[in-house]
């Protein structure tokens, strides 16, 4: 079954606004990652946050992680039309003998110029 669930499923904003996407997961994790997928393309890794971290920044991206609530958020500041894509959170289980990435269903972001 899918580990993560993103919220909202779709988000439409104006260029220059901030976009916030949320993710909830079910089991304890080693880390949580966010990926972007442009239409018809492969996924691109954006940022990774470990279970002992609470916040991480990369350029216009800010990710938070609350392990007590099993949730994460991705904030994209000053959005651009080029940010239009689907965004997925994905988790790596902790305690497994080997590691796999389990994905949520994604948030489709539209940035209107």
Partner 1 sequence: NAGVTQTPKFQVLKTGQSMTLQCAQDMNHNSMYWYRQDPGMGLRLIYYSASEGTTDKGEVPNGYNVSRLNKREFSLRLESAAPSQTSVYFCASSETGLGGYTFGSGTRLTVV
Closer to partner 1 at the Cβ: 2 or 18? 2
- Residue 104 makes contact with partner 1 by CB under 8 A: yes
Please state the closest distance from residue 110 (CB atom) to partner 1, in A. 17
Rounded CA separation 113/107 (Å): 19
Strand partners, 96: none
Spatial neighbors of 48 by CB under 8 A, at least 6 apart, are: 31, 32, 33, 56
Which of 49, 92, 109, 111 is close enough to bind partner 1 by CB under 8 A?
A: 92
Question: How far is Cα 53 from Cα 17, in angstroms, rounded to an integer?
Answer: 26
- In angstroms, the Cα distances linking 101 to 19, 39, 60, 88, 91 are 24, 21, 24, 11, 5
Interacting stretch for partner 1, rule CB under 8 A, among 15-23, 67-75, 76-84, 92-100?
92-100
Q: How many helices (H) and strands (E) does the chain have?
A: 0, 11
Q: x/- contact string, 21-40, with partner 1 (CB under 8 A)?
A: ---------xx-x-x-----
Q: Which of 8, 10, 44, 54 binds partner 1 (CB under 8 A)?
A: 44
Site residues for partner 1 per CB under 8 A = 1-2, 30-31, 33, 35, 41-45, 48, 88, 90, 92, 98-106
């Amino acid at each position: 079954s899918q580990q993560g669930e993103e919220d909202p499923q779709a988000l439409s904003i104006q260029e220059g606004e901030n976009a916030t996407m949320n993710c909830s997961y079910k089991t304890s994790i080693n880390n949580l990652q966010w990926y972007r997928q442009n239409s018809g393309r492969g996924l691109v890794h954006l940022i990774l946050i470990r279970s002992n971290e609470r916040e991480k920044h990369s350029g216009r991206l800010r990710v938070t992680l609350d392990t007590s609530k099993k949730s994460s958020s991705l904030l994209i500041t000053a959005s651009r039309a080029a940010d239009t894509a689907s965004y997925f959170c994905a988790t790596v289980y902790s305690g497994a003998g080997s590691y796999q990435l389990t994905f949520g269903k994604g948030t489709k972001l539209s940035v209107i110029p």
